[in-house]
């Protein structure tokens, strides 16, 4: 897993450990709600519910994201299906170090299928996702996984220990050689 | 005199820019894209002609609006001279102040628009209040549109729009008329539209897949012939020889 990480990311950044949004997101939600003035309670409650239940899960194939108290929602998508990545920061988010990383797949909606909020290292996350995206995979050094499909010709000779076919062939050869020797040996 | 004005305006503009960078956290550096070693990402702004194009539009709108303000003021003054005197200063402010703002905004818009192109993908950054960065790999691009109006042709610029799969009500007018939407990347005001188009098109044509993540179907099942390496073949030859030896010795 470690070899799929983009080299450009800071060493401290590991997307696989992201599970919860940063507490700064809570502050951001509160400020945004109070911008609505006296009616702040209307946006505040759903946003608080979202913040406290928001969970991320990154694995080596895709992302899942879930939130909601009464109405629950869970989104799952795979890296390969990502069409475009948008990083949006309004002025308040820039002050607080936050950003929206929106991910789009090839579905009919014009809005983003998944909007990841509350990640402080949004640029690293974006570049991580970029590296997992189609068309960007196979970017030289970071991509040992992406080469899986094409190992055969390029990866050089695999040692007999790793390659089962090679080991089996070796056994067949040894047996044949032994048989041939036995046939030849005693008259 | 003209030099001084120019220097003063440049100084003021740099001040505005510094405020934006420091207080509004507008990124100072152009965006980049991660690239494999030995390959450079090219970051560039729209062409100079785009700035002139925006300014031409600005002057046209300015003439219309300020002309309307002037005509309105003359009508008022002709009808009620004392009201005209009172309104002279506000009218002047209304005529001049938004123009200065709009003029600065044009420059800021130009300076905050960045395009990055590498051999496999592109990134577009746009916006001052809301900074929007779009990343699209060429692999995912479904079609390319090059658009050019008569005035744009005069300035030698064109707009390149790339679209990825999906969409649905794609054009959303935001940020003062700029298209910000998913599934599209808009590179407006570029002078080398044909080059960009060819670069992307070459890549799209080479792509074997539909751009929907479907290439896994090919990659997941490697052709059996491709799975043999030199080591395998050497062993197979030895097996053949051994079997051959067995066959000849037993008969």
User: Which of B222, B235, B246 faces A183 most closely, judged by CB atoms?
Assistant: B246
Q: Which 8-state DSSP code applies to residue A22?
A: -
Q: Is A137 on the interface with B (CB under 8 A)?
A: no
Q: B189-227 burial, b if ≥16 CB within 10 A, otherwise e?
A: bbbebeebbeebeebbeeeebebbbebeeeeeeeeeeee
Residues of B in contact with A133 (CB under 8 A): 137, 140
Ordered by where they begin, the domains of chain B are 1-30+47-112 (no CATH), 33-45+115-213 (2.30.29)
Residues 6 or more apart in contact with residue A177 via CB below 8 angstroms: B242
Alpha carbons B181 and B178: distance in angstroms, whole number: 9
Among chain A residues, CA nearest to B175: A90
B119-165: pLDDT as tens digits: 888 899 988 888 889 898 888 888 888 999 999 999 999 999 888 88
Among chain B residues, CA nearest to A124: B34
Q: Is A70 on the interface with B (CB under 8 A)?
A: no
Dump strand ranges (E) for A68-135. 73-78, 84-89, 100-104, 114-117
H/E run at residue B160: strand B158-164
Q: A145-178 burial, b if ≥16 CB within 10 A, otherwise e?
A: ebeebeebeeeeebeeeebeebeebbebbeebbe
What pLDDT is attached to residue A148?
Answer: 38
User: Which of A86, A165, A172 faces B182 most closely, judged by CB atoms?
Assistant: A86
**3-class SS of residue B186:** strand
Q: Which 8-state DSSP code applies to residue A39?
A: G
Class of residue B181 by CB neighbours under 10 A (exposed 0-12, middle 13-18, buried 19+): buried
Highest averaged pLDDT of the listed ranges A3-7, B198-202, B210-214, B218-222: B198-202
Tens-of-pLDDT digits for all 187 residues of chain A? 344 444 444 557 888 888 999 999 999 999 999 988 888 888 899 999 999 999 999 988 889 999 998 889 999 988 888 888 999 998 899 999 899 998 888 876 767 788 899 888 888 899 888 888 877 765 544 433 333 333 333 444 455 556 777 888 888 888 888 888 887 766 5
A133:B140 CB<8 A: yes
Q: Is the dihedral of CA B191, B20, A13, A59 positive or negative?
A: negative
What pLDDT is attached to residue A81?
Answer: 85
Among chain A residues, CA nearest to B164: A83
Global ipTM? 0.71
Q: Which of residues 104-133 of A touch B (CB under 8 A)?
A: 104-112, 126-127, 130-131, 133
**3-class SS of residue B140:** helix
**3-class SS of residue B80:** coil
H/E run at residue A181: helix A164-184
- pLDDT of residue B96 exceeding 70, the answer is yes
Residues of B in contact with A149 (CB under 8 A): 218-220, 222
């Amino acid at each position: 897993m470690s070899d799929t990480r983009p080299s450009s990311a800071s060493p401290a950044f590991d997307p696989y450990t992201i599970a919860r949004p940063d507490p700064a997101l809570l502050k951001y939600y509160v400020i945004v709600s109070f911008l609505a003035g006296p009616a702040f309670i209307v946006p505040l409650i759903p946003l608080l519910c979202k913040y406290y239940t928001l969970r991320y899960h990154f694995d080596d194939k895709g992302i899942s994201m879930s939130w909601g108290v009464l109405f629950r929602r869970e989104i799952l998508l795979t890296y390969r299906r990502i069409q475009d990545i948008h990083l949006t920061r309004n002025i308040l988010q820039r002050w607080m170090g936050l950003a929206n990383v929106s991910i789009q797949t090839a579905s009919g909606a014009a809005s983003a299928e998944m909007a990841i909020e509350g990640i402080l290292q949004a640029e690293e996350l974006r570049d991580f996702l970029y590296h997992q995206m189609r068309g960007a995979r196979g970017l030289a050094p970071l991509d040992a996984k992406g080469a899986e499909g094409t190992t055969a010709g390029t990866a050089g000779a695999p040692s007999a220990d790793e390659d089962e076919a090679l080991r089996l062939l070796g056994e067949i050869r040894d047996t044949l050689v032994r048989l041939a020797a036995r046939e030849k040996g005693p008259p | 005199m003209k030099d001084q004005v120019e220097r003063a305006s440049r100084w003021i503009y740099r001040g505005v820019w510094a405020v934006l960078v420091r207080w509004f956290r507008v990124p100072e550096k152009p965006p980049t894209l991660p690239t494999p070693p030995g390959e450079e990402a090219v970051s560039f702004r729209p062409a100079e002609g785009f700035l002139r194009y925006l300014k031409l539009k600005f002057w046209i709108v300015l003439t219309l609006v300020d002309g309307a303000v002037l005509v309105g003021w003359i009508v008022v003054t002709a009808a009620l001279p004392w009201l005209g005197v009172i309104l002279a200063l506000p009218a002047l402010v209304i005529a001049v102040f938004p123009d200065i703002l709009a003029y600065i905004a044009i420059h800021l818009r130009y300076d905050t628009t960045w395009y990055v192109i590498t051999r496999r993908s592109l990134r577009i950054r746009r916006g001052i209040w809301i900074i929007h960065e779009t990343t699209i790999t060429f692999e995912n691009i479904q079609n390319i549109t090059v658009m050019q109006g008569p005035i744009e042709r005069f300035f030698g610029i064109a707009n390149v729009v790339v679209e990825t799969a999906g969409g649905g009500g794609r054009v959303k007018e935001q940020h003062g008329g700029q298209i910000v939407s998913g599934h599209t990347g808009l590179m407006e005001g570029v002078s080398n539209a044909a080059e960009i188009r060819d670069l992307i098109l070459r890549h799209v044509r080479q792509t074997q897949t539909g751009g929907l993540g479907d290439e896994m179907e090919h990659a997941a099942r490697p052709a059996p012939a491709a799975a043999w390496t030199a080591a395998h073949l050497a062993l197979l030859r030895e097996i053949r020889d051994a079997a051959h030896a067995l066959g000849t010795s037993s008969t």
